Structure 1
Amino acid sequence: MKEWITKELLSYSKKTIVVEELERWVPSGLTYEQFAEQVLLLENEGILEMVKAKGRNSRTPSLAFSYRIHTIHLKKDYHEQLKTYRLKLHPSISLDSYYRLQPAQWNMDLPFLLSIHQYLESFGLPIYEVPAPERSVELVGDEKWITDKQGKELLERVGLWDSMKVIPVSDPLMFALNPKMFMQEEHKHLIVENKTTYQGLLVALPHTSFTTLIYGCGNKILNSMDQFERQLPLEGAKHRFYYFGDLDRSGIFIWHRLQSKVDAEPAMPFYEACLAKEHLQGKTNQRLDEEAVAAFSAFLKKEQREQLHSLLDSGCYFPQEVLKTEELQTIWRQTRWS
């Protein structure tokens, strides 16, 4: 019973607790005397300290009406367990993050950590990249563990994600190439959100200074972009990414997420051309990400920022399709992209 109470205390968010709350955690059928004996043990160990101002009850054994919880004492056994496993597990497995996490996370992760330990003891760190399902089977005997069961998060938690050489499982990145630009030191890439815009710009690609035109396919770009270096292995090359999507809450959110991964800047000549058009209505159900809108707004002039905020607040938007094919191609060809 003491272990049960301790487990509940570890996940309890407040610093003090009343005795009635403690009593609700114990299994039914136990006597008050049995319950009180365990609480007094926790008092003696310094895990629970009586709140003197509240006093004690008159029952035998007597318990305090309210207790202060000392987390440092509560986690003593847990930290000792971490120290023990630090010596047992393969040195590539870092347990540092678990000192900041609840023991419940450690208890959930431990069986997987033991499996990973066995793999590392037998084979060492991987030399070759393999797809996530294959690595999952090797590590824990479950092909979906990395992708669907928080295996990636565990590997990141113990500092092994990069060392495991996992090929991301995502749709291939869809793009067209401009071979004339292959010999350049810096390569420019235009990512567009929608298929119509991709098809409209495709003919113009050979007449631009861009190496690729990439079809983002909405939110899919956030995962498929992980395949870029594998699909276009230009050794030692520098890459500069531009993004053009719908000028609405969702499109700006996709850009912001992508920007944090590959530093994609908004393709402003296209967006500025959109802002000069007549807006459309009907996007009132999209979630507004204020951080994303603020980051995007930093690329706009003051009057354009005011226009954008007014449009988003009223549910208006600019789809990419407000720019006709000829206009798209002209903007791409004639802009001096820095």
Structure 2
Amino acid sequence: MEDQLNRLARWSKVMISLEELSAIFYKKDQTYEELAARILELENEQILQPVKAAGQTMRTPSIAHRYRIDKSKIQDDFYGQLHRYNEQFHPAIRLDRYYSLTADIFSGDLPFIKQIHTYLTNYGLPKDAVPAPERSVELVGDEKWIDESGGRALLERIALWDLMKIIPVSDPLMMAFNVQSVHNPGQFHLIVENKTTYQALLPVLPETVFSTLIYGCGNKIVKSIEQFDWQYPIGTANHTFYYFGDVDRSGLTIWHLLNGKRTVLPAIPFYEACLCKEPFQGETNQRRDIEAVQRFVAAMPSAKSIQTLLDGGFYYPQEIVKSAELGKIWRDWSWNLINGKG
């Protein structure tokens, strides 16, 4: 029944014919009387309103040949359903997000939410952190559910992600430490996209105010950044992250996705060093991520010409800045004054 209402809510038109309704409510060996009873039930709920001009069937009970769908009534029914489940489920499960989503999303999530409710009722909130596959098995009996089948998004929708003590399964962060600054209350971390840049900057790390140098390994950093708090458990410090990648569509997209995980600022002095040089030509087949470019330019106003540069097929690889220049920039720049820090 819920699936049928969801299909009515998603119906692209206001009007629906009896034949189309029959297809939505079809069940094997269903009789006309059973179909008519269901349609008349929706008539009584004013979800379906008969179009009188279209006429009625000659059979008993008689139903209209055409109906108008009142989708607001379906929404009201959905809100009532959410309220009822809110009262039934474990108090840690929050359904508030679904009031701004469609009923079919909730319908798809509901079987998993019921399993999570059973787990919480039997065991309560977990006390120990475990890897995502282990928690997946405990919750829904599928070790891939959290990482590969939308489980994390669902747990975030019901406000349980942070409470379930899940260790993300991703590649570990590859990073070097500056032992002189790991105990500072305010700590800086530089993430670089490519291995060549990482190797060039590594010898300079002890001469900077940075606590770590992190090798992003391309887009792997978007997942591996989840490991930072586990690998670098200095929770009392105020962490500030900077990113330096290729000035191309792929590089800006990596920064944009990473910035969606936790605040990561463009490493402006490095990017400005790139933009002072002659760009390379040839990168025309990368996916256009307009939002990533717009967000990058907003974070680094001096890069406002980047959109034109990329549209023309030009780009800057990180390696365009030589090792000696990279080291001097990192060693000399007053990083703690960037963006009002320090």
TM normalised by structure 1 equals: 0.87
CA deviation vs aligned residue, 1:163-221 (integer Å, no higher than 9, x gap) = 11111111111111111112422111111000010001111111111111110111111
CA deviation vs aligned residue, 1:247-272 (integer Å, no higher than 9, x gap) = 01111111122223322111111111
Amino acid at match of 1:96: D
Task: Give the 5 Å matches for 1:74-113.
Answer: 74=74, 81-113=81-113
Distance 1:233 1:33, change over 3 A: closer
- Residue 219 of structure 1 corresponds to 219
Distance 1:305 1:36, change over 3 A: same
The alignment partner of 1:211 has SS state of strand
- Residue 19 of structure 1 corresponds to 18
Q: Does 1:305 align with 2:312?
A: no
| 1:111 positional shift | 3.2
| 1:81 positional shift | 4.7
Aligned length, in residue pairs:
333
Taking the aligned partners of 2:93 and 2:56, their CA distance within structure 1 comes to: 51
The alignment partner of 1:224 has SS state of helix
The alignment partner of 1:190 has SS state of strand
Task: Give the 5 Å matches for 1:187-202.
Answer: 187-202=187-202
Taking the aligned partners of 1:247 and 1:179, their CA distance within structure 2 comes to: 31
- Residue 319 of structure 1 corresponds to 317
Query: Percent identity among equivalent residues?
Result: 52
CA deviation vs aligned residue, 1:230-289 (integer Å, no higher than 9, x gap) = 211224211111111000111111112222332211111111111121211121111222
Unaligned runs of 5+ in 1: none
Amino acid at match of 1:145: W
CA RMSD of aligned residues (A): 2.7
The alignment partner of 2:233 has SS state of coil
CA deviation vs aligned residue, 1:101-122 (integer Å, no higher than 9, x gap) = 4444444333323322222222
Distance 1:136 1:32, change over 3 A: closer
Taking the aligned partners of 2:157 and 2:330, their CA distance within structure 1 comes to: 43
Distance 1:87 1:299, change over 3 A: closer
User: In 2, are the aligned partners of 1:5 and 1:22 still within 8 Å (CA)?
Assistant: no
Distance 1:193 1:23, change over 3 A: same
Amino acid at match of 2:153: E
- Residue 56 of structure 1 corresponds to 54
Distance 1:57 1:83, change over 3 A: same
| 1:96 positional shift | 3.3
User: In 1, are the aligned partners of 2:191 and 2:215 still within 8 Å (CA)?
Assistant: yes
Task: Give the 5 Å matches for 1:5-154.
Answer: 6=5, 8-27=7-26, 35-36=35-36, 38-51=38-51, 55-57=53-55, 59-61=57-59, 63-64=63-64, 66-74=66-74, 81-154=81-154
Unaligned runs of 5+ in 2: 338-342
| 1:39 positional shift | 3.2
| 1:88 positional shift | 3.3
